[in-house]
Copies of this chain bind each other. A is one copy, B any other.
Amino acid sequence: MAIAQLADILTLRNDVFKAYLFWSAVLVLKMLAMSWLTAVQRVATNTFANAEDCFRRKDKVKYDEARVERVRRAHRNDMENILPFFIIGFLYVLTDPSKFLAINLFRIVAFGRLIHTLVYAVVCVPQPARALSFAVAHLSTAYMAYHVLLYAS
């Protein structure tokens, strides 16, 4: 990368970096929203993780409430998949990849993870909805890592 190249990569004039910024911000907001979704389910089921969180007489400490745990599994799955995407997506941008491929990979990851949350934690949809949305985002992220690995080899 020459001087001009790096500055040409980390700029809004580079559509790949712009798409990465946009979809990363969307996915950060989506992940943060999982905390609120958990809170909604906790209040709705009067189920809390700590004694100091129980204010109402019917509130109880409970770790196996199905509706709460379902959201928490979706949230953990986000951490397992979206957080590695954030870093490898950025490193992938730095390799100056094909514009068409990169932008569409970012879209696939973003839509895959948005749909994953929807069918896992909002409305429970039968398989293979969750498996497919997981797989397309997972494999796209793995491809970026593979691309970065080859680039640095």
A interface residue numbers (CB < 8 A to B): 1-7, 10-12, 18-19, 21-22, 24-26, 28-29, 31-32, 34-35, 49-50, 52-53, 55, 63-64, 70, 73, 75, 79-81, 83-84, 86-88, 90-91, 94, 124-127, 130, 138, 141-142, 145-146, 148-149, 151-153
Contacts A10-B1, A32-B138 given; indicate if A127 touches B26 (C-beta within 8 A). no
Copies of this protein in the complex: 3
From B5, B19, B28, B88, contact of A28 by CB (8 A): B88
Q: Are A91 and B25 touching (Cβ within 8 A)? A: yes
Which residues of the other chain, B, contact A7 by a CB distance below 8 angstroms? 1-3, 5-7
Taking chain A's interface residues, is the majority helix, strand, or loop, or is none over half, making it mixed?
helix
Closest residue of B by beta carbon distance from A127: B52
Q: Are A6 and B11 touching (Cβ within 8 A)? A: yes
12 A-B contacts, Cβ less than 8 Å apart? A5-B7, A10-B94, A12-B152, A21-B94, A21-B152, A24-B91, A25-B88, A25-B91, A25-B148, A34-B80, A52-B124, A52-B126
Q: Bound state CA distance, A34 and B70, in angstroms?
A: 20
